[in-house]
């Protein structure tokens, strides 16, 4: 008998159940089919334009920088401009997300756009967020073959593209969006909630950016809400 089996057996005995009860199985099935929602704060329950403004405000409060572009075709130029503004090399790494793949990278002749997971030597990583949460200024990034999680954490600078229309008010709606996009049984292995650049205040209660990940987070919002 494995340690896991031993522990679960003790729990069943203490509860006076065997695990085969019809009512308990029905309760579990119902919860999986209809996941309950928690209390949803009113702060994010706004009209689309106001929700976008709240997201930008909250993101900037936690040291992220935000810019808006009219369309996805403007993203390569925005990335190139960001690199110049930070005096960074004209190079970055992205995944094979179809939304990023469709952008006109050839329009930036001097930009070296690499593709694939980061090995830790990339200065700039580019990702596309699945959605974002206005009430906290949080980006929601899902993992997969086209979206390497290494890009979220290893480069010093993380640039994230998010569509204005995908920004929601609260975490419950964001989770529902992920379920609707991927479907039950097909959820991504990892969902990263990113709020501002990495930081720590462990040493003398002094905030240090880049302690456990990117030292800078730049958000590019595409289109209108």
pLDDT band at 205 (very low <50, low <70, confident <90, very high): low
pLDDT tens-digit series, residues 11-40: 888 888 876 788 888 888 888 888 777 788
Among all chains, which residue has been given the structure tokens 């980006």? Answer: 139
pLDDT tens-digit series, residues 147-173: 999 999 999 999 999 999 999 999 999
Please tell me the pTM assigned to this model.
Answer: 0.82
Beta strands in the chain (DSSP E): 65-69, 91-94, 112-115, 124-128, 131-133, 138-142, 157-163, 167-168, 191-194, 199-200, 208-209, 216-222
The more confident residue out of 212 and 111 is: 111
Residue 175's closest CA among 130, 219, 136? 130
Ranking 31-40, 112-121, 174-183 by mean pLDDT, the lowest is 31-40
Give the pLDDT of residue 62. Answer: 92
Among all chains, which residue has been given the structure tokens 């569509």? Answer: 163
Among all chains, which residue has been given the structure tokens 């309760």? Answer: 27
CA 190, 166, 62, 76: dihedral to nearest 10 degrees?
90
How far apart, in whole angstroms, are the C-alpha atoms of residue 217 and residue 124? 10
Residue-wise DSSP of 68-86: EESSGGGHHHHHHHHHHHT
Q: What is the end-to-end Cα distance of the chain in Å, rounded?
A: 56
Give the pLDDT of residue 37. Answer: 74
Cα 214 to chain centroid, rounded = 14
């Amino acid at each position: 008998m494995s340690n896991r089996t031993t522990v679960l057996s003790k729990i069943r005995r203490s509860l006076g159940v065997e695990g085969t009860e019809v009512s308990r199985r029905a309760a579990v099935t119902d919860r999986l089919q209809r996941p309950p929602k928690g209390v949803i704060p009113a702060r994010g329950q706004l009209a689309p334009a106001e929700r976008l403004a709240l997201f930008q405000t909250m993101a900037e409060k936690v040291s992220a920088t935000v810019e808006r572009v009219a369309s996805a075709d403007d993203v390569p130029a925005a990335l190139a401009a960001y690199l110049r503004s930070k005096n960074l090399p004209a190079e970055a790494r992205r995944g094979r997300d179809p939304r990023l793949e469709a952008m006109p990278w050839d329009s930036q002749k001097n930009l070296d756009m690499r593709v694939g997971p980061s090995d830790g030597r990339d200065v700039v990583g580019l990702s596309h967020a699945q959605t974002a949460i206005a009430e906290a200024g949080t980006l929601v990034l899902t993992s997969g073959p086209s979206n390497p999680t290494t890009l979220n954490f290893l480069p010093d600078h993380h640039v994230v593209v998010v569509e204005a229309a995908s920004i929601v008010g609260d975490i419950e709606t964001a989770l529902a969006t992920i379920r609707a996009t991927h479907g039950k049984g097909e959820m991504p292995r990892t969902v990263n909630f990113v709020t501002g650049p990495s930081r720590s205040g462990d040493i003398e209660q002094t905030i240090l950016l880049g302690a456990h990940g990117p030292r800078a987070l730049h958000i590019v919002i595409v289109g209108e809400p």
